[in-house]
Amino acid sequence: MSIRRRAISLCAAAALTAGIISPAIANAQDFNGIVDSIATDSAAGAGVSMAPIGSYASGQLAESAAEIVAFHADSQRILTVNALSGEIDVLDASNPENPTKIGSISAGADKEINSVTVREDGLAIAAVQQSDKLLEGEALFFDASAEDLGSAELGRVTIGALPDNVHITSDGAYALIANEGEPSNELNAEGTAYVADPAGSVSVITLPAVGTVEAASQADVRTAGFEAFDAPGALHEDIRIFGPEAHHNQPSLDLEPEYVASAYGKAFVTLQENNAIAIIDIASATVEKIVPAHITDHSQIAIDSSNKDDAAELRTIPVKGLSMPDSIHAFTSNGQTYFATANEGDAREWGVDEDEGGSGIYTDEVELADVVEDGQVCEGALGDVDLEELASKEVAGNLKLSNASGWNEEEQCFDELYAYGSRSFSIYDAEGNVIFDSGSKFEEVTASLNQAGVFHHNADNEGPEFDDRSDNKGPEPEALTIGQIGDRTYAFIGTERVGGVFVYDVTDPANAKYQTYVNNRDFTVDFDEDNYESTKFAGDLGPEGFAFIDKEDSPNGEYLLVIGNEVSGTTTIFQIEDPLADSEHPIGKNETSAEGSSNSSTGSSESNSGSALAGGALAAIVAVIAGVVAALGVIPGAKDQMLKVLPQEVRAQVEAFLN
């Protein structure tokens, strides 16, 4: 079932369950960040389901007031990066249905925090950007469990320019910080080069032993840089080094680390705009190699390329997609290391318009129609395709391309066209070889869910208009984390624009299987950043950062996923259920099975609950209970309370019935 609608009388539901949900009924008028109609889609026999149970609202819209999130189990606290205030909001999550702000950690005047992480003993680290992003940043250490958060800071060390993401290795021995080193926002007087472009790097910080909650010293900081790759031919030809006309073309300056993960002594770092991934030896703080990131072929993998065709329609076109990954997470399976990436895509655009007193703007972004109309497609490069038809707005005319890839210098034309992002997530082995990519699945699911006034395929995160982003990275996968549930490993991928979370079973990484999609968003609510009181009812907008919580660490004893949403400014907690926990999974450990497909007309997967029911009597009972549970969804927290009191077998069947 794709969009859950409430059809049973609320009065009847209340009469049946008054003893269970009376506290929720009392607060029914208070919006808790969870929308009435949560969009869902699931594969047949999905091993997990999930639903939001609580949310904290910063009260700020479109200001990055909730970005990266982390969870500290001992103190039951969520750390949420609030870039707007330059602080980390500390939330008490001991009741995950009502996370509450208890204080904050400040970066200091005119500084910005971009990321945070925390070790099991409470040693937390924040990546701090200076007001001038060209200057060296800071790693801020604090005690996440401190009673007095005003004195929780432990110290700071200096790191590279524009620290964008911080990660702690699983053994707690090192902190790794991706220093993006973006160029200046200004071009030179001629408009041909950046005024400045600091080097990108990764800081490797040796931490105090686990159990010692203290700041590292400056002597504990080493830098993994990219100078060794400045030599001609040191980089693979698919790795992009580019910029304005007089750009320096030095990889050590142009490579821009975005996100970092690690496993077994190796760090894996996304170099987003460069469409590459760096692999680093942590002990020596040395970049061992840089590998090209995934490139998809949209002549084989369909894409919704038009925002002007009035349709949620995927088509194959002679364009390639640069995955340009953002988030990355490493994991192991059968003793082997893998990492997964969310393939967002990103254009470069720096400078100040001449009309505003600047020297011009550099961007690598162009539109497909302009490339065709300017005669910049090499003759025969796209086969026998009708260029005029391809360039129509109803097909791909507005599709955003990068002019930094595919250009034939000798012929002075493009012999290949490259769009931003692959609208997918990918899995790589430890050497950087792609072993799985989700292809068109994200857009297939959102297109199947599309229904006017209910769910809007490829909507933007700052507006619910249908099809708005089809010409520009589509759903835009950005957030990603990995979690272990029972004997299965799952990837959770957030789509920044349309919103929501896709879940894949990655226990067998080369044969990852789509499980479910959930989106806590109301598409009937218009976005108005100046009117928080009305816009807040839209739910979660712009998922940016994820934190998976194991049930052993969880405040309610269940698996949880915490999501920071940068546009809605909300930090939302989802509870993850394993409906097959007491029965044999349809896919055994490290075995594969055919993936279930969604019904293309409704976006819902056919339920297999009937075959799982033990007889007609149980089926009737489950149907009645499911109807009551569905009706209770309009009351915050009521549905979850109802499900919790059911026996596990019945609960699994009710959830299967609802799906």
Taking each continuous run of H as one helix and of E as one strand, the counts in the chain are: 10, 38
- The residue assigned the tokens 């703007």 is 361
φ, ψ of residue 269 to 5 degrees: the values are: -125, 125
| pLDDT confidence band for 629 (50 / 70 / 90) | low
| pLDDT confidence band for 597 (50 / 70 / 90) | very low
Please answer whether residues 424 and 351 qualify as being in contact, where contact means their C-beta atoms are separated by less than 8 angstroms. no
656 occurs within a structural domain: no
143 occurs within a structural domain: yes
Task: Please check the confidence at residue 585 and state whether its pLDDT lies above 70.
Answer: no
Task: Please check the confidence at residue 336 and state whether its pLDDT lies above 90.
Answer: yes
CA nearest 216: which of 293, 145, 336, 124?
124
The pLDDT of residue 611 is 30
**What average pLDDT does range 202-211 have in this prediction?**
98
**What average pLDDT does range 137-165 have in this prediction?**
98
**What average pLDDT does range 198-222 have in this prediction?**
98
> Residues 6 or more apart from 615 whose CB is under 8 A from it?
none
The pLDDT of residue 642 is 58
| pLDDT confidence band for 639 (50 / 70 / 90) | low
φ, ψ of residue 636 to 5 degrees: the values are: -55, 125
φ, ψ of residue 302 to 5 degrees: the values are: -65, 155
- The residue assigned the tokens 């807040």 is 536
**C-alpha triplet 140, 142, 148: angle, nearest 5°:** 135
* Count of structural domains within the chain: 1
H helix intervals, 460-582:
532-535
Coil/strand/helix, residue 365:
strand
| pLDDT confidence band for 624 (50 / 70 / 90) | low
> Residues 6 or more apart from 232 whose CB is under 8 A from it?
none
Looking at the DSSP bridge assignments, the partners of residue 68 are none
Residue 316, Cα to own-chain centre: how many angstroms?
A: 25
Between CA 128 and CA 123 the distance in angstroms is 16
**What average pLDDT does range 588-595 have in this prediction?**
31
pLDDT in tens, 474-513: 999 999 999 999 999 999 999 999 999 999 999 999 999 9
φ, ψ of residue 230 to 5 degrees: the values are: -75, -20
Looking at the DSSP bridge assignments, the partners of residue 3 are 39
Furthest CA-CA distance within the chain: 80
Between CA 350 and CA 373 the distance in angstroms is 25
Task: Please check the confidence at residue 551 and state whether its pLDDT lies above 70.
Answer: yes
Residue of higher predicted confidence among 643 and 525: 525
- The residue assigned the tokens 């993998």 is 301
Query: Tokens in use for 599?
Result: 């019904």
Query: Tokens in use for 433?
Result: 């070889």
**What average pLDDT does range 190-200 have in this prediction?**
96
Least confident piece of the model among 118-132, 509-523, 607-621:
607-621
Please answer whether residues 439 and 431 qualify as being in contact, where contact means their C-beta atoms are separated by less than 8 angstroms. no
CA separation (Å) from 657 to 455, 613, 629? 21, 10, 11
263 occurs within a structural domain: yes
Average pLDDT, the chain: 88
Please answer whether residues 580 and 565 qualify as being in contact, where contact means their C-beta atoms are separated by less than 8 angstroms. no
> Residues 6 or more apart from 216 whose CB is under 8 A from it?
139, 141, 155, 157, 175, 205, 206, 207, 208
Residue 184, Cα to own-chain centre: how many angstroms?
A: 26
Report, in angstroms and rounded to the nearest whole number, the Rg of the chain calculated over CA atoms. 25
User: How much is the pTM?
Assistant: 0.85
For 294-308, letters b (16+ CB in 10 Å) and e give bbbebeebbbbbbbe
CA separation (Å) from 332 to 168, 289, 325, 338, 435? 17, 21, 20, 6, 14
403 occurs within a structural domain: yes
Residue type, 112: E
Residue of higher predicted confidence among 295 and 596: 295
Between CA 502 and CA 442 the distance in angstroms is 8
Task: Please check the confidence at residue 593 and state whether its pLDDT lies above 80.
Answer: no
478: left (phi over 0), alpha (psi -120 to 50) or beta: alpha
486 occurs within a structural domain: yes
488 occurs within a structural domain: yes
CA nearest 322: which of 286, 302, 296?
296
649 occurs within a structural domain: no
The pLDDT of residue 594 is 29
Between CA 222 and CA 506 the distance in angstroms is 34
Please answer whether residues 425 and 298 qualify as being in contact, where contact means their C-beta atoms are separated by less than 8 angstroms. no
Question: Could you give the percent of the chain with pLDDT greater than 70?
Answer: 83
463 occurs within a structural domain: yes
Torsion, CA 603, CA 609, CA 610, CA 616, rounded to 10 = -130
Between CA 458 and CA 565 the distance in angstroms is 17
Task: Please check the confidence at residue 557 and state whether its pLDDT lies above 90.
Answer: yes
> Residues 6 or more apart from 10 whose CB is under 8 A from it?
631, 634, 635
Question: Could you give the percent of the chain with pLDDT greater than 90?
Answer: 83
**What average pLDDT does range 113-136 have in this prediction?**
98
Between CA 577 and CA 490 the distance in angstroms is 12
CA nearest 214: which of 174, 169, 154?
154
Residue of higher predicted confidence among 612 and 220: 220
Looking at the DSSP bridge assignments, the partners of residue 362 are 350
**What average pLDDT does range 3-24 have in this prediction?**
29
Residue type, 41: D
CA nearest 326: which of 259, 388, 275?
259
Task: Please check the confidence at residue 15 and state whether its pLDDT lies above 90.
Answer: no
Task: Please check the confidence at residue 247 and state whether its pLDDT lies above 50.
Answer: yes
CA separation (Å) from 633 to 10, 21, 42, 450? 10, 11, 19, 21
Task: Please check the confidence at residue 602 and state whether its pLDDT lies above 70.
Answer: no
| pLDDT confidence band for 578 (50 / 70 / 90) | confident
Residue of higher predicted confidence among 21 and 224: 224
φ, ψ of residue 441 to 5 degrees: the values are: -55, -40
Got the DSSP string for 246-270? T----HHHH--EEEEEEETTEEEEE
For 409-444, letters b (16+ CB in 10 Å) and e give eeeebbebbbbbbbbbbbbbebebebebbbbbbbbb
CA separation (Å) from 593 to 43, 514, 604? 12, 11, 20
The pLDDT of residue 647 is 47
CA separation (Å) from 124 to 148, 266, 575? 15, 21, 25
Residue 53 gets which letter from DSSP?
Answer: E
CA separation (Å) from 172 to 79, 123, 265, 369, 628? 18, 10, 12, 51, 47
Range of the domain at 345: 125-545+580-595
Residue 554 gets which letter from DSSP?
Answer: -
Please answer whether residues 502 and 514 qualify as being in contact, where contact means their C-beta atoms are separated by less than 8 angstroms. yes
pLDDT in tens, 364-415: 999 999 999 999 999 999 999 999 999 999 999 999 999 999 999 999 999 9
